Amino acid sequence: MTVDRKLATEVAKQLERRRLRRRLLVLALLAAAIVLVITYLTCGQGFGLGGKGKGKGEGSGTGKAIAALPDAAPARCAVRVHAKGITVDGKDVTREQAVTACKATPGADVVITGDARQGDWDELRAAFEQAGVTVYVRE
């Protein structure tokens, strides 16, 4: 009789665990369904993934639409110092032409290559400083 009693107890425990798992699964599915319904109702038709709106776009409003704003900062000139000389925005120039071109911009982005002559960079930097051009160096 003790074997039957232990077996009955184990079977009862297994059945209780199964019932608990089923109950948790049903509650989880119900909670997920409620969340989906709330999302659908608050985000509009199609879960907010686009689509047509309710209006026709024919209103008497006075507002202006802004599609895209350009970058607020004006572009700095791109200067490259290398073994063959100086280039500004891809064009070979002299030191004086580089300073003149960069004076019209808010500054100069300067890239100094590994084969550049140090004296060329020193002279260009001094010319930029004398002209009041702000220099941003990348080596």
Q: Are 131 and 87 in the same domain?
A: yes
- Report, as an integer, the average pLDDT of 87-116: 90
Q: Which domain holds residue 14?
A: 2-48
At 14, the pLDDT band (50, 70, 90 cuts) reads very high
**Is the predicted pLDDT of residue 1 greater than 60, yes or no?**
no
Contact of 104 with 76, CB cutoff 8 Å: no
- Provide the percentage of residues in the chain whose pLDDT is more than 70: 78
Helix (H) or strand (E) holding 101: helix 95-103
Q: Are 83 and 133 in the same domain?
A: yes
Q: CB-based contacts of 83: which residues, under 8 Å, 6+ apart?
A: 113, 115, 116, 117
Domain presence at residue 58:
no
Domain presence at residue 83:
yes
Helix (H) or strand (E) holding 27: helix 2-43
3-state secondary structure of 85: strand
Domain presence at residue 14:
yes
DSSP strand pairing (108-112 vs 77-82): parallel
**Is the predicted pLDDT of residue 80 greater than 90, yes or no?**
yes
Q: Are 81 and 127 in the same domain?
A: yes
pTM: 0.47
Domains of the chain: total: 2
Q: Are 134 and 82 in the same domain?
A: yes
Domain presence at residue 95:
yes
Domain presence at residue 67:
no
pLDDT of residue 39: 80
**Is the predicted pLDDT of residue 48 greater than 60, yes or no?**
no
Contact of 128 with 95, CB cutoff 8 Å: no
Domain presence at residue 64:
no
At 43, the pLDDT band (50, 70, 90 cuts) reads confident
Domain presence at residue 65:
no
